[in-house]
Every structure is written in C-alpha cells, then in structure tokens.
Structure 1
Amino acid sequence: MREVFNGSEIEVIDFDDVTSGEHVIEFRDPAWSSNEAVIAISVPDGRSWRDAIVSVNPHRGDVPVSFVIWAIGVAEERTH
C-alpha cells in the first residue's frame, strides 16, 4: 500500500516476521531505492506499541525527523 508524505508516494509494507515473531512495517521511498526500506518500525512478539523500535537503514544516511514522525503515526494506526 502507498501513503503520501510531502507529495511523495511512499510504499508501506506491513508484515509479521516469522523468524523473530515481530510485527514489522517498512517504509520504502521508490525515488531513493525500490528494494530497500528507508526505515522500519517493529513491535516485538507479545509486546505492545510502547515497545516498538525504529530502525534506520544505514545505507540511506540522514532521515528527516518529519519523515520519522510521519512514519511512526502511520505505523501506530496500522498496529491498532
């Protein structure tokens, strides 16, 4: 599914990681790389949204705070 951030379509991929048991939501910007997430937000198995973790792709470099805040909001909506 795609969401719009500042006029750019961002691909949002929502899945459960069967190896770790985490619920993961990836945010991919096709303008940067269609095969790599800019950030991923995960909720560990059996834990709540309060335990969510944000991971930034080290190959991406700096990510604007406004993007991270937006992605957190999208991820929170999808986990409730």
Structure 2
Amino acid sequence: MRELFGGREVEVIDFQDVTSGEHVLEFRDTAWRSNEAVLAISVPDGGSWSDAVVSVNPHRGDVPVTFMIWAIGVAEKKMH
C-alpha cells in the first residue's frame, strides 16, 4: 500500500506472517531508494502496541523527526 508523506508516496509493506511471529510494517521512501526500507516498526509475537520498536536502516543515515512521527502514526493505526 502507499501512503502520502509531504506530498510524496511512501510504500508501506505489511508483513503479518513473518516466521518469527512479529507484525512488521516496513516504510520505503521512493525518493530515497525504492528497494530499501528507511525504517521498520514491529510488534513482537504476543506483544501489544506498547511493545513496538523502530528499526532504522543503517545505510539511510539520519531520518527526519517528522518522517518518524508520521510513520509511527501510520503504524499505530494499522497495527491496533
């Protein structure tokens, strides 16, 4: 699925059937690189939203706070 951030499309990939049991949303900003995630937000198997964590692609470098806040909001809506 695609969501809009700052007027550009960001691909949000929902992995609900990961072998580890995690629920993961991966955010790919095509303005950066279309085939690599900027960040991923995951909830561990059996966990709740309060257990969610953010992982940032180490090749990306700094991620703007506005993007992080936006991605967390999208994830919260989709993972609740």
TM-score by length of 1: 0.95
SS in 2 for 1:54: strand
Q: Distance in 1 between matches of 2:18 and 2:53?
A: 17
Q: Which amino acid aligns with 2:69?
A: I
Amino acid of the structure 2 residue aligned with 1:68: M
Q: Percent identity?
A: 79
**What residue is the counterpart of 1:51 in the other structure?**
51
Residue-pair matches, total: 80
Using structure 2 for the length normalisation, give the TM-score. Answer: 0.95
Show CA shifts across 1:12-41 (max 9, x none).
001125321100000001111111100000
Determine the structure 1 residue equivalent to 2:33.
33
Q: What residue number does 2:2 align with?
A: 2
Structure 2 counterpart of 1:2, one-letter code: R
4+ long deviations beyond 4 Å: none
Segment drifting more, 21-30 vs 8-17: 8-17
Which residue of the partner structure matches residue 76 of structure 2?
A: 76
Structure 1 runs not aligned, ≥5 long: none
| CA distance in 1: counterparts of 2:67 and 2:78, whole angstroms | 17
